Structure 1
Amino acid sequence: MRRLFLTGFLAMVGMGLFAQSVDKAKDALKAGKIPDAKTQIDGALAVEKNQKNAEAWYTKLKVYNAIAANDQLRTQYPDARDQAFDALKKYVDLDEKDKKLVLLQMDGYKPINEIYQGYFQVGANDYNAGKYDDALKSFTGAIAASSYMTSKGWTKLPIDTTSTLYAGISAEKANKKDTAAVYYGRLADAKIASINGTNMIDIYKWLVDYWNTKKDAANTEKYLSLAEAQYPDDLFWPDTRLTNIREKGNKDSLWAQYDRIVAHFPKNHLFFFNYGLEMYQFANDTSSGHRPANYDALIAKSQDMLKKCLEIQPDYPQAALVLGQISYNAAVDLQSDTKKIPGKGPEDIKKRADLRIAAGKKFDEAIPYFDMVDKDLGSKGKLKMDEKTALKDAYDLLINIYQEKKVKDKEDLYTNKFNNVDKDH
């Protein structure tokens, strides 16, 4: 009987000492004696059986929050906020089913807000000081605190956009691109278009470029699609798609992509110009030893695209120059074809004559386009180097045409203009 009585007595004394330690920690904290409060609560929780007491963990939460908020003590105990957060989670695990977090509710959830705000503020301070690795760690803590609150239903914020953004930026500035991709990816996955009024398009461009550089086609396409849904009229997305398809070398896929792009951007003359020029260049690529079987269809489509470009932007000399070159080159091809008919009979003579007439018509077809280049660029003052080159090309071909036609005054006119481009422009 005595033994049982003694054991019970000792247990009661132990419980009293535990309660006394927690109370002393609370009293010391209330009095602003934070180091004493830390000593008391650490001592209480050093006893294994006391680690199942929710109030003890809640007291540790508040004590360590106080340490983290004190500049001097935070330097001495740099992990104080992490320990406070861990104490919060242990308190919740022990208390939420039983007492429904009465202590936390009585404090208006202030401790968890202090944890979040503390992480964020330290992160902001480190970021502004250029300590990007430290900032990343703190913003990651803020994200964890925010996510925890969301998981418990204490807030309905699906994603802490600001902390996530700055975690990504801090990681990028710390040259941790893989980590930056994780945080930027969370924003894009959540389809965030702006944060605090700031457009997030550069985040999407960063992700597209990041995955594209890694040659990860699946993720590149994923973020291209997400980006296009948020910013459908930005040209970075179609330019990226065209570049990627172009590198793979499948021309049918390239033309199909161009068709989708010009349908989406019907007033963008540059897409029509690039489509027409690229198709024309492909049609005339004889590196394989011959022209494509559908050469005529490609040339016709190329001309349609370039004419559409001029329809949208009438004073775009590059498109006029290429259209002129297409007709000019067709004329030269027809002239070359006459040499393939060596016979001297009436039928062969007629064939050659018909080809020369057709060539003349093609030269006539080219002249108005070269004149457009002259009108657009020849009337200007100082020209850029590419504009000078375009103007010289137009004059050079006009000289050749009028030589063929034996129109000396026109030939001399454009020869003089050609010789004076550098001086006049």
Structure 2
Amino acid sequence: MMKKTTLFASILLMGSATFAQKYDPIKGALLTNNMAEAHKLFNKESASEKFFSKPEGYIIKSYILAFDAQDSAKAADAEKNREAGLEAFNKYKEMDPSMKDLDTYKNAPYQLYASYFNSGVSDINAKKYEEAYAKFKNVVDLSDLLISKKIYLPGPIDTNAVYYAGVLAETNKHMEDAVKYNTRLADLKITGNNFEQVYQSLVRYYAGKNDDANFEKYRKLGKELYPQSEFFNYNKLDFAIGGSTNFDEKVAALEKIITASPDDYKANLTLGEAIFERLNRAKEGETKPANAAELETKMLTALKKAESLNAAELQPVLLMGDHFMNKASEKEEVMRNAEKEMDKKGAKATAADKQAYADAKKAYIAEYAVAAESFEKAADVLGKLQQLDNVQKRQYKVIAGNLAQYYFVIGEGATGANKTKYSALEKKYDALYKSMK
């Protein structure tokens, strides 16, 4: 039994050695750049499955296909040859992770690298960005291998390949991949005119992720390498405000900042301002958001928090006052329509007509009362200032006018001490309003 096993093994070894000799003529043709002869020999020998029993068979195949992919006479088949060449090279690496034959056949990965790079650039010029990105992923992988094996490319990385891969990843919205490529460049402090966007991309990404550590790391690095760029002076709140024109994205970004820093006055105020604009100053053709009630709650929470953090600042209370003043104006229109209906019917106005008017007036006063509460706070602050600038004067005049009107309205139905109180307040604010030039 032992003799048979040994004999069988000897036969296998002899067969393998015999077939291995088939590679040598092809190798010789490749090394002398006699591609025609190499093709001829390869086509003959590779017809046998045994040709691919050893890793060398696959790297020879990769070598030939890589050169074919670069051959302008075979341009029509370049894509097919390039893909098949890479597939053969990957099979070679799988069969022999040590890649002991690589020095002999080093042109195989290098020509694949060159072919993918050139084709990727052509795709960029043709605005075929997804196709270009797929190619540059291969370019980076091949360049990393070439650098690690010290084949033609200097290290530590192929900056152009990694740069293109990162830009294309971001263009195609593969942000995790973009971060991977951009981080490689940034951590090596690669610099130059085109590379500023690498650092900008990382800063924007980590601002959106609310990752303070990495946001600051790459913002400071960008500032160090590009000191003249205003971009790296922006803080996280700046990115939350200006990073997107989409309202929902902006709100979500601001909420992330507030969750991380609940006592950030500017973040709370900015969130309140953003929602105020959406609810009260809709653009032409813009409909009221379906979640208006939810947004109002978020806005008021943010503005009240901002007010509590800095009572000297008027913007939070002014926004709340204006918001409820707008709501009061909507209720006032309903009230005026109900009043017109009663006036039109005269003596024939029904109890239902009168109740509709009473309910509408009650709703109007309720909203106005909330607005007045904020305006009273603002008036108190402004009244204590030694000198008002022009903006503050305009604000004070509007506030005084709104408060005079409010006390007139609630004073109409008041009696006794309340009548006297509301009348006095109406006169106070009316006089203040008229004194403002």
Give the TM-score normalised by structure 1: 0.56
| AA at the equivalent of 2:367 | R
| AA at the equivalent of 2:173 | A
Cα deviations across residues 17-56 of structure 1 (Å, max 9, x unaligned)?
5523x22322332343324423433543442233231222
1:355 alignment counterpart: 422
2:335 alignment counterpart: none
Cα deviations across residues 114-172 of structure 1 (Å, max 9, x unaligned)?
43343223211231244445434423433554687899999876996423334346xx5
Q: Distance in 2 between matches of 1:197 and 1:304?
A: 53
Equivalent residues in 2 for 1:136-175, closer than 5 Å: 136-143=133-140, 145=142, 161-168=162-169
Closer/same/farther in 2, CA of residues 225 and 360 from structure 1, 3 Å limit: same
Closer/same/farther in 2, CA of residues 12 and 320 from structure 1, 3 Å limit: farther
Q: Distance in 1 between matches of 2:83 and 2:12?
A: 35
Structure 2 residue 410 is the aligned partner of structure 1 residue 337? yes
Give the alignment partner of residue 238 of structure 2, picking from 235, 240, 261.
235
Cα deviations across residues 403-422 of structure 1 (Å, max 9, x unaligned)?
xxxxxxxxxxxxxxxxxxxx
CA contact 2:408–2:423 (8 Å) conserved in 1: yes
Structure 2 residue 272 is the aligned partner of structure 1 residue 281? no
CA contact 1:34–1:67 (8 Å) conserved in 2: no
CA contact 2:166–2:179 (8 Å) conserved in 1: no
Closer/same/farther in 2, CA of residues 133 and 334 from structure 1, 3 Å limit: closer
Equivalent residues in 2 for 1:265-304, closer than 5 Å: 273=315, 275-276=316-317, 278-284=319-325, 285-286=327-328, 289=363, 290-291=366-367, 298-299=374-375
CA contact 2:275–2:295 (8 Å) conserved in 1: no
2:33 alignment counterpart: 32
**Alpha-carbon distance, 1:341 to partner:** 3.3
| AA at the equivalent of 2:136 | F
CA contact 1:25–1:40 (8 Å) conserved in 2: yes
2:71 alignment counterpart: 70
Cα deviations across residues 218-253 of structure 1 (Å, max 9, x unaligned)?
xxx994535993563563513612458965434343
Q: Distance in 2 between matches of 1:164 and 1:102?
A: 29
CA contact 1:277–1:306 (8 Å) conserved in 2: no
Structure 2 residue 200 is the aligned partner of structure 1 residue 198? no
Cα deviations across residues 319-361 of structure 1 (Å, max 9, x unaligned)?
754443222101111122332236xxxxx4x754543432233
Equivalent residues in 2 for 1:43-192, closer than 5 Å: 43-96=44-97, 100-105=98-103, 111-132=108-129, 134-143=131-140, 145=142, 161-168=162-169, 180-182=172-174, 184-188=175-179, 192=183
Closer/same/farther in 2, CA of residues 261 and 31 from structure 1, 3 Å limit: farther
Question: Is the partner of 1:32 in helix, strand or coil?
Answer: coil
Q: Distance in 2 between matches of 1:188 and 1:302?
A: 47
| AA at the equivalent of 1:32 | N
Q: Distance in 2 between matches of 1:181 and 1:94?
A: 35
Deviates more, 1:140-149 or 1:275-284: 140-149
Closer/same/farther in 2, CA of residues 149 and 280 from structure 1, 3 Å limit: farther
Cα deviations across residues 249-289 of structure 1 (Å, max 9, x unaligned)?
3434334556889999x9xx9xx85x555422332324683
Q: Distance in 2 between matches of 1:102 and 1:17?
A: 18
Give the alignment partner of residue 225 of structure 1, picking from 210, 228, 235.
210
Structure 2 residue 398 is the aligned partner of structure 1 residue 325? yes
CA contact 1:65–1:84 (8 Å) conserved in 2: yes
Q: Aligned pair count?
A: 322
Structure 2 residue 293 is the aligned partner of structure 1 residue 251? no
**Alpha-carbon distance, 1:94 to partner:** 1.8
Q: Distance in 2 between matches of 1:122 and 1:263?
A: 60
Equivalent residues in 2 for 1:302-313, closer than 5 Å: none
- Aligned identity (percent) is 15
Give the TM-score normalised by structure 2: 0.55
Closer/same/farther in 2, CA of residues 258 and 305 from structure 1, 3 Å limit: farther
Cα deviations across residues 295-322 of structure 1 (Å, max 9, x unaligned)?
5654467779999xxx9x966x4x7544
Equivalent residues in 2 for 1:7-18, closer than 5 Å: 16=18
Unaligned runs of 5+ in 1: 173-179, 208-220, 343-347, 372-425
Closer/same/farther in 2, CA of residues 328 and 63 from structure 1, 3 Å limit: same
Question: Is the partner of 1:25 in helix, strand or coil?
Answer: helix
Closer/same/farther in 2, CA of residues 148 and 106 from structure 1, 3 Å limit: closer
